[in-house]
């Protein structure tokens, strides 16, 4: 167990002793409310803070838990403790059902997701109010026995909430430091890129949502007994989601403990203001909120951890510059080209596309393209602007779904698979306009791909792998910088490093050279050569003809979505159809 886990458990044990100190019951209800809000805010943060899917529906899941517990305990006379797992389960099921539908619709992100979940709250609330679940008058829990955990009823409730809060903290911490958490943070920054880099985005969002909802349901279940009278109007409204968002953002959504800090802060404020002058107290809460957000836009914890970009795992592996790169750390999984050449037989086909088509409403971006990529070669993909080169890369990498045709990679059909499975099969790509994960350091950007891509390394190995590739591309000095601090040349190289760190068998490069100076282009050409020497097969889209001629073993030319020529570079460039595609047909 690491220090954080021990710390959480120790704090929990310490707080668990409060009921035996003989303090007035007032303190127990105060501490109960802190724990209650901590569970809600921390659980909200697991989906919404980590992945950026801001939910305004936490009230719905909290409310489902509340009504499940209240109904089972008051109407069906279940022992109260047995209703709590049921409350968590019901909330999780609602979350899963909603997630399966909502997470499939790509455009429901950001504020649309917030709104949709808010609407779900009102729909669920209306159904509960008008059916036998509530029926209008609400549910009384006066007759339900409080489980005798502590010396008194209020202390028992407090201990229940405390246990829930400790469990939620452990889960929130574990999720953040796990592969799931890293994937969720990637989704936060750029979901499409995360998917293409191998993050199973749909599954991760669903998992986080289910976790988040079940914990909210648990909090609701306990709260039903605490308030002992449950009504739809008090449950399914905007107060719970607003308070929870407030607490999390105030505490800091990018740190697992942020929402707990926010919960403590706001609950203390509300308690202090509840005394002599409630109106002035409320106004004070409002003013403090305004001031804190204005001066600490990343939350309290975000403010204190501002300048610390966490360097996770390993320290830099110091390489002896005299040792050749390939000898020092040749990626074990990558095929060695020399072995392939040695056979001297027919070239082995790594990727084969057959009749590949992609239509955007009305525009045929790829039209029946059939093409083979041989293992170990560098294939240049050329064509005028709008000829379908980038679409080719987008379809093969799974960014777009093909509208027709087949893609075989090492004999396996890839068309129709989600992008993360294509990445895990060993295909990596770069984006023409670099799309790094903005809130992750350069090192974390690269390590993420080593974890989720074809290499599938664990956290420690992935960080070591990332260092190796950063040294390979010369970005090691920038490892702890954020992508925003890089210039274009460095960002392009970061794209490249990311692609390499997954130990791909096939690399798709989309105009890595555009926008670079001649000197930088020379550097990049050398780098691409080195990548091939290490065994990867490369397909690259490029307009810089000097680079194409220097690098490509073969070139393929697209025009209006059709493949018009493929073969050795010199030969293809003399092909009259290729010449006319670039220069137009002579009319003389």
Partner 1 sequence: MSFPSFNLLAQSILSGIFIGSLYGLIGLGLGLTWGLLRQINLSHFGLVFLSAYMSYHMATVWHMDPWLSLLILPPLFFAFGVGMQWVMARFQISPFNSLLVTFGIAVVIESLIQAIWTADFRRMETHYNDMKFSVGSLYVPIPELLTLLLSVSIALLIWAAMRYTDLGKALRAMAEDGQIAAAFGINQKGMSLMLAGVCAALAAVAGICLAMTFTLTPSQIFAWVGVVFAVVMLGGLGSAMGPLVGGIIIGVSEAITMAVASPSWAPIVSFSLLIFLLLLRPGKI
Burial 553-568 (b: 16+ CB within 10 A, else e): ebbbbbbbbbbbbbee
- Measured between alpha carbons, how far is residue 91 from residues 61, 64, 68, 164, 225 in Å? 5, 6, 9, 15, 17
Closer residue to partner 1 (CB): 149 or 288: 288
Q: What is the C-alpha to C-alpha distance for residues 117 and 130, in angstroms, rounded to an integer? A: 20
CB of 279: closest distance to partner 1 in angstroms?
A: 5
**What minimum distance in Å lies between the beta carbon of 296 and partner 1?**
10
Nearer to partner 1, 49 or 535 (CB): 49
Q: In the complex, what is the shortest distance from the CB of residue 120 to partner 1, in angstroms, rounded to a whole number?
A: 7
Angle between helices 80-102 and 201-227 (to 10 degrees): 150
CA distance 504 to 424: 9
Q: How far is the CB of 74 from partner 1 (least distance, A)?
A: 21
- Interface contacts to partner 1, rule CB under 8 A: 54, 101-102, 105-108, 111-112, 115-116, 118-123, 125-127, 129-130, 136, 237-239, 242, 245-246, 249-250, 279-280, 282-283, 285-290, 293-295, 297
Which CB, 118 or 166, lies closer to partner 1?
118
Q: How far is the CB of 126 from partner 1 (least distance, A)?
A: 4
d(CA 264, CA 283): 18
For partner 1, the closer of residues 149 and 269 by Cβ is 269
Nearer to partner 1, 272 or 339 (CB): 272
Q: How far is the CB of 521 from partner 1 (least distance, A)?
A: 29
User: Is the CB of 32 or the CB of 54 nearer to partner 1?
Assistant: 54
Beta partners for residue 364, in sequence order: 359
Residue with Cβ nearer partner 1 (252 or 405)? 252
Q: 118 or 564: whose CB is closer to partner 1?
A: 118
Q: Which is nearer to partner 1, 289 or 328 (CB)?
A: 289
> Please, which residue, 10 or 105, has the CB nearer to partner 1?
105
Task: Tell me how far apart the alpha carbons of residues 375 and 352 are, in angstroms, rounded to a whole number.
Answer: 11
**Cβ proximity to partner 1, 239 vs 458, nearer residue:** 239
Q: What is the C-alpha R_g of the chain?
A: 29
CB nearer to partner 1: give 142 or 295.
295
Cβ 255 to partner 1 shortest distance, Å: 16
* Minimum distance, C-beta of residue 218 to partner 1, in the bound complex (Å): 25
Closest CA to 416 of 425, 405, 427: 405
DSSP string covering 100-137, please? HHHTTSTT--HHHHHHHHHHHHHHHHHHHHHSTTT-SS
Output the smallest distance, CB 123 to partner 1, in A.
Answer: 5
Cα 369-375-346 angle, rounded to 5 deg:
90
CB of 288 to partner 1, least distance (A): 8
149: nearest Cα among 62, 73, 222, 65: 222
CA 13 to chain centroid? 33
CB 356 within 8 A of CB 401: no
d(CA 316, CA 497): 16
User: Residue 564: in which H helix or E strand, if any?
Assistant: strand 562-568
Q: In whole angstroms, what separates CA 356 from the centre of its chain?
A: 30
According to DSSP, the β-strands at 554-559 and 562-568 are: antiparallel
For residue 512, give the H/E element and its range.
Answer: none
Q: How far is the CB of 295 from partner 1 (least distance, A)?
A: 8
448/183 Cα distance (integer angstroms): 8
The H or E element that residue 374 is part of is strand 363-374
The partner residues of 381 in beta bridges, in order of sequence, read: 541, 556
Closest separation in Å from C-beta 232 to partner 1 = 9
427-429 and 412-413 strand pairing? unpaired
């Amino acid at each position: 167990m690491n220090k954080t886990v021990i710390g959480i458990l120790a704090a929990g044990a310490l707080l668990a002793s409060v009921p035996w100190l003989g303090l007035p019951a007032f303190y127990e209800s105060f501490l109960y409310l802190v724990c209650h809000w901590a569970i809600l805010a921390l659980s909200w943060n697991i989906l919404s803070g980590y992945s950026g899917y801001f939910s305004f529906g936490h009230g719905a899941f909290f409310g489902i838990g509340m009504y499940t517990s209240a109904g089972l305990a008051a109407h069906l006379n279940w022992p109260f403790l047995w209703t709590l797992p049921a409350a968590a389960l019901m909330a999780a099921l609602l979350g899963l059902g909603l997630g399966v539908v909502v997470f499939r619709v790509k455009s429901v992100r950001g504020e649309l997701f917030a709104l949709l979940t808010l609407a779900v709250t009102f729909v669920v609330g209306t159904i509960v109010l008008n059916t036998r679940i509530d029926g209008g008058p609400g549910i009384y829990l006066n007759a339900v026995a409080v489980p005798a955990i502590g010396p008194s009823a209020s202390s028992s409730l407090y201990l229940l909430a405390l246990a829930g809060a400790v469990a939620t903290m452990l889960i929130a911490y574990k999720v953040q430091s796990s592969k799931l958490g890293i994937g969720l943070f990637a989704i936060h920054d750029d979901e499409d890129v995360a998917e293409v880099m191998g993050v199973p985005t749909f599954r991760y969002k669903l998992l986080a949502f289910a976790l988040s909802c079940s914990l909210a349901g648990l909090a609701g279940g306990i709260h039903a007994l605490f308030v002992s009278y449950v009504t739809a109007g008090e449950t399914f409204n905007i107060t719970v989601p607003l308070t929870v968002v407030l607490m999390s953002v105030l505490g800091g959504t990018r740190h697992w403990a942020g929402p707990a800090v926010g919960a403590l802060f706001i609950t203390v404020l509300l308690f202090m203001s509840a005394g002599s002058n409630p109106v002035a107290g409320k106004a004070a809460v409002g003013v403090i909120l305004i001031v804190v957000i204005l001066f600490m836009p990343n939350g309290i914890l975000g403010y204190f951890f501002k300048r610390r970009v966490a360097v996770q795992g390993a320290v830099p592996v110091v390489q002896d510059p005299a040792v050749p790169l390939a000898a020092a750390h040749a990626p074990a999984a990558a095929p060695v080209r020399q072995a392939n050449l040695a056979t001297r037989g027919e070239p082995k086909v790594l990727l084969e596309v057959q009749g590949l088509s992609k239509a955007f409403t009305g525009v045929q971006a790829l039209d029946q393209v059939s093409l083979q990529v041989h293992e170990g070669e560098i294939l240049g993909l050329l064509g005028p602007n709008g000829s379908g080169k980038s679409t080719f890369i987008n379809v093969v990498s799974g960014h777009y779904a093909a509208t027709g045709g087949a893609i075989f990679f090492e004999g396996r059909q890839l068309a129709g698979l989600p992008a993360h499975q294509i990445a895990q099969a060993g295909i990596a790509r770069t984006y023409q306009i670099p799309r790094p994960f903005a809130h992750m350091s350069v090192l974390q950007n690269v390590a993420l791909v080593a974890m989720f891509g074809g290499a599938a390394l664990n956290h420690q190995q992935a960080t070591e792998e990332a260092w190796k590739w950063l040294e390979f591309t010369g970005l090691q000095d920038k490892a702890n910088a954020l992508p925003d601090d890089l210039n274009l040349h460095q960002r392009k190289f970061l794209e490249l490093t990311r692609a390499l760190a997954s130990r791909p068998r096939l690399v798709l490069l989309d105009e890595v050279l555009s926008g670079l100076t001649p000197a930088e282009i020379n550097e990049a050409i050398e780098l691409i050569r080195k990548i091939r020497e290490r065994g990867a097969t490369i397909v690259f889209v490029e307009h810089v003809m000097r680079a194409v001629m220097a690098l490509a073993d073969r070139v393929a030319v697209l025009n209006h979505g059709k493949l018009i020529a493929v073969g050795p570079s010199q030969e293809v460039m003399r092909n009259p159809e290729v010449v006319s595609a670039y220069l137009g047909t002579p009319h003389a």
